[in-house]
Chains A and B, each alone.
Chain A
Amino acid sequence: MASREETITRKGDSKGNHYLSVCESFLAKIDSRDPFWVQTLRQDALARFRELGFPTTREEQWKYTNVRAIQEANFEPAPREALPKIKKEEVEKLSTCPLRWHRLVFVNGVYSKEFSRLSDLSGAFHVGTIQDAIRTKPKMLEQYLAQCARYDRNGFAALNTALIQDGTFIYMAEGKEFETPIELVFLTDSERGNVMSQPRNLIVFGRSSRATLIESYFSFSDDPYFTNVVTEVVLGDGAVCDYVRLQREGRKAFHISTTQVEVGRNSVFSSVAVDLGGKLVRNNLTVELTEEGAQCDLNGLYLTSDDQHVDNHTLIEHPKPNGTSRQLYKGILDGASTTVFGGKIWVHQDAQKTDAHQTNKNLLLSEHATVDTKPQLEIFADDVKCTHGAAVGQIDEDSVFYLKSRGLPEAKARQLVSYGFANEVVERIKVPSIRAELNQIVLERCERQGSGKAVAS
């Protein structure tokens, strides 16, 4: 009871909230030449954040994920002038992607020109930072920024919006196809302080444009830090977007992501989101199939161990007819880790002929690991094809025996079964180099975890 009252007091007390003062001092220092609409947007978001605060476990959506530790840790924005000294080779090593790919690298949330590569960009599209776009492309930015990622109900999105400055802005002109993927790389080195970064990404696909995006998170130190990212993706009619999200934060990191996608008529959004790192991770992925014939294919994989907590919440909105959505999220849990899956598919009244399938499967390698899974279907149309399901289980003993009967040792048989379980998601990554890299990572993780003998149920 005491803690409940405490939370309420804290929410109402602006002076008590460290993050409010962070926002206030940010807004006091920010370039006054920024367009008026940007300044207003930040002020509005701050006002909303002041009202919302961080979510508590009393909210249904946050029942299993307690973010008080973030509130109490008082993370600070990294000083822009004194970024950690990271060697370029080290950054290059992080990615197995060919060097010719476009890459935007952020260190502690701040864009690094040194590590980034934006070669051969013609005028038909734009790839750059939000910060630059505020100055050079304000009209284009204004049309989309914070239009789909709403901050009125989500404290983390409100905080991020109040602090809008760093991140990526990509605009693909009509019919434009990007041959090579675009990488967004977020590195954190928190050795010299409790840093937080608030990246903001906006990616706009013009009609019939096509590109692959890879968003990845890495850590250079084993200290606590806080990443709170908001990514907005808008797909015009007939556009195709392949999205890979690779979260390999440090083991003491807090990672909150909000990804909001709008899919236009006959457009296709496919994503594979992989969570390997972090101490406390919460991903909110919302996809709205805004026009007829829109499709999405959302895949997720989380491999957790020790005391990691990974929470994936997804929402797929089907407001119009003939939309298709596919969703497969899988997790392998070891140690005393906990994971949450909350997946909602909302089929509105007009959304006839909706075709939606959702699956969440979890493999428990330890009796101390916990899964909370809640697939949800809300259907208001009558002519639809929708299924959903969730499963939590141990390694299938028949599979283990089958592999052993071919000569594989017990431990290897178990590793192979869990590797296969995870690989079903990895296989859906369309970029060969990323797929191969993840395949290797998953194999190594399974080899390390492989000891996990089935626990008696």
Chain B
Amino acid sequence: MLEICDLHVNVDGNEILKGIDLKISKGEVHAIMGPNGSGKSTLARAVAGHPDYEVTQGQVIYQGKNLLDMEAEVRAREGVFLAFQYPVEIPGVTNAYFLRAALNEWRANRSLEELDAADFLELLKEKMKLVGMDPAFGNRAVNAGFSGGEKKRNEILQMLVLEPKLAVLDETDSGLDIDALKTVASGVNHLRAPERSILIVTHYQRILNYITPDFVHVLVGGRIVKSGGKDLAFRLEEKGYDWVREPASAGEMES
């Protein structure tokens, strides 16, 4: 599905990612954990194609194609989805209008007919139920005046509507209370499928109680310093990130 080789990324001229290697196969759920400033979100945004994140070295192969050659919108249409850490407010554009436009772009790319407003609303209502959103949110402007939790639910809603092949969740758990976290996690689990891969970027192990990862990677200082199974997350929770900062464990592969 996704193969990242020796990825270096600069932001404002500073090198944030210093050689990332990561392979995600179909159907796998990977978690990237790391302390603040380690480059987790940079990795997520670089995969989505944010123009401020400049790739200086390395390559990213997605479904056999060079992902870095694609504009952000092409990546999206090819099935890459980023759930934003800070979803953007778009005043004056309703959620329903925006999502239908996005879905129809995706459908057009697959030579499928456009969904009309009525059919789309049916679909939207059904997906909204999955993330516990009031249907009224369909007529509200995208994220405008939403609470932190509502914004995150809205990200998951978009993901459920667009049904990506590779979903990248950037700190989707931050700022969520336990109920919202459960709903968001169940939305993600709903999407879990043999043909779909998920990359969860998080600071805390908490969300991994609800979405069990196949692999956990620890990112420190722009490099993956440790990889392992789901147990790695628990050990990190216990011992803190200082534990992996020990030079001896850097790059060590467990399990």
Residues of A at under 8 Å CB distance from B?
396-399, 401-410, 412-413, 416-417, 419-424, 426-427
Q: How far is the CB of B43 from chain A (nearest CB, A)?
A: 15
Within 8 Å CB of B142, what residues of A?
420
With a cutoff of 8 Å between Cβ atoms, the chain B residues found around residue A398 in the complex are 88
Contact of A405 with B82 in the complex, beta carbons under 8 Å: yes
- A402 → chain B, closest Cβ, in Å? 4
Cβ B102 vs Cβ A407 within 8 A? yes
Report B157 CB to chain A, min CB distance, Å: 12
The answer on a CB contact under 8 Å between A407 and B90 is no
Would you call B62 an interface residue if the criterion is a C-beta within 8 Å of the partner chain's C-beta atoms? no
Q: Does B158 contact A (CB under 8 A)?
A: yes
Chain B residues near A (Cβ < 8 Å): 48-51, 71-73, 75-77, 81-82, 84, 87-93, 98-99, 101-102, 105-106, 109, 141-142, 158, 162
**Chain A to chain B contacts (Cβ below 8 Å), 8 pairs:** A402-B88, A405-B76, A407-B105, A407-B106, A408-B102, A412-B101, A416-B101, A421-B91
Beyond the given pairs A401-B50, A420-B90, 17 more chain A to chain B contacts, judged by CB atoms under 8 angstroms and listed by A's residue number, are: A396-B88, A399-B88, A401-B51, A403-B90, A404-B72, A405-B49, A405-B76, A406-B98, A407-B109, A408-B73, A419-B92, A420-B91, A420-B92, A420-B141, A421-B92, A422-B92, A424-B91
Interface pair B101/A427, CB less than 8 Å apart: no
Nearest 4 A/B pairs, CB to CB = A420-B92, A423-B92, A420-B93, A407-B76
* Chain A residue at smallest Cβ distance from B101: A408
Q: How far is the CB of B121 from chain A (nearest CB, A)?
A: 17
Docked complex Cα distance between A402 and B77 (Å): 14
What CA separation (Å) do A222 and B72 show in the bound complex? 43
Q: Which A residues lie within 8 Å of B51 (CB)?
A: 397, 401
Cα distance, A398 to B51, chains bound together (Å): 10
Closest Cβ–Cβ distance, residue B136 to chain A (whole Å):
15
Which of A405, A417, A426 contacts B72, CB < 8 Å? Answer: A405
**Max chain B CB contacts within 10 Å: which of A419, A420, A427?**
A420
Interface centre among B75, B87, B88 (most CB of A within 10 A): B88
B93 touches A410 (CB 8 A): no
Which residue of chain B has its CB nearest to the CB of A426?
A: B92
State whether B162 touches A407 (Cβ < 8 A): yes
In the assembled complex, which residues on chain B have CB atoms less than 8 Å from the CB atom of A403? 90, 98, 102
B78 CB to closest chain A CB, in angstroms? 9
A404 to B50, CA, bound (A): 9
Report which residue of A399, A401, A407, A427 has the largest number of chain B beta carbons within 10 angstroms of its beta carbon.
A407
B162 touches A402 (CB 8 A): no
- Residue among A404, A405, A412, A427 making CB contact with B92, cutoff 8 Å: A427
